Amino acid sequence: MPKLINLHHPYELSFIKDANSFLLFAKNALRIIDKKGCHIKRDGILLPVRWSISKQTWVVDRGTDLQRDIEGIDLDNVDRFIKKDNPLYEASKVILKDLKHNDKFKELSKSIRLDKNTTKFIAFEYVSAKEVYPIGVYQRPKSKKREGAETRVNSYSLLIDDSDAILGELSSTSNIFKSQKRVKLNKSYHDVYKDFKNQIINKTFSFSLKDGLSKVQIDLSRELDVNVCFNKNKNINKHTRNTLKTKQTKNTHLNDKEKKDIIILSLCVELGKFIKQELNIEDVEGVVFNDGKYLIKITGEKLLEDKISYNTTKSLTNNNSYPLLPGVF
């Protein structure tokens, strides 16, 4: 199932090729957060909702070419596609039930032409039945079977509006919708960047090897001094995350490629921890901001957790009716 909204971790950005380019990225990220602000990223489920002209109701639409999404999942047929013990089941039920009789939301949707242009959708982040965050108005990309925004092949949805104004209006239409205002640094990004750099140059990691006796040290100060070059194809997999998280490896040694992946991952984690501390939001997953080209997600230690995957045992009635998995983004 494709991701409708593509959020990039720093290590996924092709222009971050070495330590210097990472530091430049970090400084620019802090500048954007200082000047324009960023949105808080909570540990929730992405739910894209649009208006269905044929059904005359709100539907969940993951943007695929399957008939399930072309028609949309409405309040009356959620059970057909999603298991009740799947977190997406409750999310869909709660939001669609609220919207069914939400006249304020319907009127607002008309002002942004959601009732006429069904390629547009509202993205919600579902945290709980009493805590749902509208995160923006998007337009899905054009595909072989569906209309949409003219973007490059295999692209993601186009962000239309995630301003404080529109998110405030959307959140005001229901008690369960919560405001999602941007947060900013409380001091100059120049000073904050200096603090970040001073913090990471004092970081040293020691990793125990398979024999339990030998150790390998990675000194971030040294790696920054020599401007370590990262792997062209960064492989930030479960093994890399676990190695940094536990400070142990099942291997007898760490090769140069593994070290470089650990270094870029550790820099991303340290940047996330630092930003959340500066914004006093340590209890959330991270932050999201737009750098003009990409939507960037910076999370800190959340990067070291295994990605959540939910399975379903719903039977398939045909090739166009695949059960739905939650969108973790």
Confidence of residue 314 (pLDDT cuts 50, 70, 90): very low
> Considering the chain, what percentage of its residues have pLDDT values greater than 90?
73
Which pLDDT score is estimated for 172?
A: 97
Domain range for 90 is 40-171
> What are the backbone angles phi and psi of residue 13, rounded to the nearest 5°?
-80, 125
Residues 15-32, mean pLDDT to the nearest whole number: 97
Q: Which two tokens stand for residue 260?
A: 């470089």
- Give the range among 188-197, 235-244, 271-280, 309-318 with minimum mean pLDDT: 309-318
Q: How far apart are CA 88 and CA 48, in angstroms?
A: 11
Sheet-wide strand order for 295-298: 7-8, 295-298, 286-290, 39-41
Residues 286-290, mean pLDDT to the nearest whole number: 95
Per-residue pLDDT tens for 89-118? 999 999 999 999 999 999 999 999 999 999
Per-residue pLDDT tens for 62-78? 888 888 999 999 999 99
Domains held by the chain: number:
2
- Check whether residue 81 and residue 110 sit in a common domain: yes
Which pLDDT score is estimated for 278?
A: 97
The Cα diameter of the chain in Å comes to 67
> Within a domain: residue 55?
yes
> Within a domain: residue 25?
yes
Task: Give the domain-ending residue among 171, 196, 229.
Answer: 171
Residues 21-26, mean pLDDT to the nearest whole number: 98
> Within a domain: residue 328?
no
Torsion of CA 69, 75, 76, 79, to 10 degrees: 70
- Check whether residue 264 and residue 233 sit in a common domain: yes
- Check whether residue 57 and residue 114 sit in a common domain: yes
- Check whether residue 62 and residue 158 sit in a common domain: yes
- Check whether residue 160 and residue 47 sit in a common domain: yes
- Check whether residue 55 and residue 93 sit in a common domain: yes
- Check whether residue 87 and residue 154 sit in a common domain: yes
- Check whether residue 79 and residue 152 sit in a common domain: yes
Task: Give the domain-ending residue among 136, 171, 206.
Answer: 171
Q: 3 pLDDT exceeds 80? A: no
Confidence of residue 329 (pLDDT cuts 50, 70, 90): very low
> Within a domain: residue 189?
yes
> Within a domain: residue 318?
no
Per-residue pLDDT tens for 228-246? 999 988 878 899 999 999 9
Q: 251 pLDDT exceeds 90? A: no
Residues 275-282, mean pLDDT to the nearest whole number: 96
Residues 42-50, mean pLDDT to the nearest whole number: 94
> Considering the chain, what percentage of its residues have pLDDT values greater than 70?
91
Q: How far apart are CA 276 and CA 263, in angstroms?
A: 20
- Check whether residue 225 and residue 276 sit in a common domain: yes
Which pLDDT score is estimated for 23?
A: 98
Vertex 124, ends 307 and 315: CA angle to 5°? 60
> Within a domain: residue 194?
yes
Vertex 245, ends 272 and 310: CA angle to 5°? 85
Q: How far apart are CA 133 and CA 44, in angstroms?
A: 9
- Check whether residue 158 and residue 50 sit in a common domain: yes
Amino acid in the structure at residue 294 = Y
Distance of CA 218 to the CA centre of its chain: 29
Which pLDDT score is estimated for 152?
A: 61
- Check whether residue 216 and residue 240 sit in a common domain: yes
- Check whether residue 300 and residue 195 sit in a common domain: yes
> Within a domain: residue 325?
no
Which pLDDT score is estimated for 327?
A: 44
Q: Which two tokens stand for residue 133?
A: 């965050």
Task: Give the domain-ending residue among 123, 143, 171.
Answer: 171
Count of H-run helices and E-run strands, the chain: 10, 11
> Within a domain: residue 192?
yes
